[in-house]
Amino acid sequence: MLLLVDLDGVVYRGSDPVPGVADVLAERVAAGDHVLYCTNNSSRYRTEYVRILGSMGAPVQPDWVFTSARATALELAQCDPPVRVAMVLGAPGLSHEIRDVGIRPVDPDGRGLSADPDAVVVGIDRHLTYERLAVAAQAVREGARFVATNRDPVFPAAEGLMPGAGSIVAALETAARRAPDMVVGKPGPILFEAAARSVGMTPREAVVIGDGALTDIAAAGRTGARSVLMLTGVTSRAEAEALPPDRHPTLIAADAGELRSALLRLQGGEAAA
């Protein structure tokens, strides 16, 4: 099977591993499954996840990590007309992924603007300033494609809820007076499509494992993937049960043991079909 696995709230919570999940994933890989990690986080280069997941005992290789930054870079590489220069209103990890696909990343400053960017790419930007926002808006007004890594309004951190990439996308949308041309992350379909394509498959053949009813499970529904909602993160059982029938996950798992059983059931269904 192809497993599209969310990270925060599934494999770990902050810096703490969710007990047993890394072992279940290792068993699935040993049994021949593909495991691809799909996260809306756009700030890190994928080798950082190789280090983090590896230290938790989860099976991982660099090509198994699909951040919204990497999926955005892969989508930009397929654009027609081609994107040669991309202005990055985001973190160094996003610039790194963009450079990896042969596109030149530039900063949202006067020099970046004079490079005549074909696209403005927006992710979480902890160095956001009025100046950076103003330059990015000018580039969009001058015709650059407006690409959002994701629209998460906030994300949980140790210090509380912090503004996510979506807050910065909204600011740019207001300043440029134009909606993004493309939004890559969940709940949209592009992140899962890019991940599945990397192993020659489609999301319809995949099982999504996620903790977010409105992100992971919604994106699974939109792409025709089956899904297991983990109750180890942001969604409670009561919230899951209150979802309208067409938004329900295929199965719900409270912990790693229930995830193991859920995947065996889904695999059994596949064998019977």
Just list the catalytic residues. 6, 8
- CA dist., res. 90 & res. 121, Å (int): 7
Q: Is 75 near Mg ion (CB under 5 A)?
A: no
Q: Nearer Cβ to Mg ion, position 3 or 139?
A: 3
Strand 12-13 vs strand 154-157: parallel, antiparallel, or unpaired? unpaired
Q: Which of 2, 9, 17, 194 binds Mg ion (CB under 5 A)?
A: 9
Is residue 125 a contact point for Mg ion (CB under 5 A)?
A: no
Q: How far is the CB of 9 from Mg ion (least distance, A)?
A: 4
152 is a contact residue toward Mg ion (CB under 5 A) = no
Phi, psi of 169 (to 5 degrees): -60, -45
Work out the burial of residue 55: count CB atoms within 10 Å of its CB; fewer than 13 is exposed, 13-18 middle, 19 or more buried.
exposed
User: What distance in Å separates the CA atoms of residue 4 and residue 2, rounded to the nearest whole number?
Assistant: 7
Q: Which one of the spans 8-16, 53-61, 95-103, 167-175 is the region binding Mg ion (CB under 5 A)?
A: 8-16
Q: Smaller CB distance to Mg ion: residue 30 or 158?
A: 158
First to last CA, the chain: 13
Give the CA distances from residue 61 to residues 47, 48, 193, 243, in Å, rounded to whole numbers and listed in that order. Answer: 8, 11, 19, 35
Tokens 């081609």 identify what position?
A: 82
Give yes or no for a cis peptide into 81 (omega within 30° of 0): yes
User: Contact with Mg ion (CB under 5 A): which of 140, 165, 211, 225?
Assistant: 211
Q: What gap in Å lies between CA 76 and CA 231, rounded to an integer?
A: 34
Q: Judged by CB under 5 A, which stretch of 1-9, 16-24, 47-55, 104-112 contacts Mg ion?
A: 1-9
CB of 38 to Mg ion, least distance (A): 10
Residue number of the CB closest to Mg ion reads: 9
Q: Does 6 bind Mg ion (CB under 5 A)?
A: yes
Assess contact for 123 and 91: CB atoms under 8 A.
yes
Nearer to Mg ion, 17 or 212 (CB): 212
Q: Residue 176 or 229: which CB sits closer to Mg ion?
A: 229
* Per-residue x/- track, 157-196, Mg ion (CB under 5 A): ----------------------------------------
Residues paired with residue 17 on neighbouring β-strands, in sequence order: 12
Site residues for Mg ion, 212-231, by CB under 5 A, read 212
**Is 4 within 8 Å of 208 (Cβ atoms)?**
yes
Q: Considering only 6-14, 61-69, 99-107, 180-188, which stretch makes contact with Mg ion by CB under 5 A?
A: 6-14
Kindly indicate which of the ranges 53-61, 102-110, 192-200, 207-215 contains the residues binding Mg ion, using the contact rule CB under 5 A.
207-215
Helix (H), strand (E) counts: the chain:
11, 15
With CB under 5 A as the contact rule, the residue among 4, 8, 139, 192 that binds Mg ion is 8
Nearer to Mg ion among residue 8 and residue 75 (C-beta): 8
Which residue's CB is nearer to Mg ion, number 152 or number 211?
211
Distance from C-alpha of 232 to C-alpha of 253, rounded to nearest angstrom: 8
Applying CB under 5 A, the residues found at the interface with Mg ion are 6, 8-9, 211-212
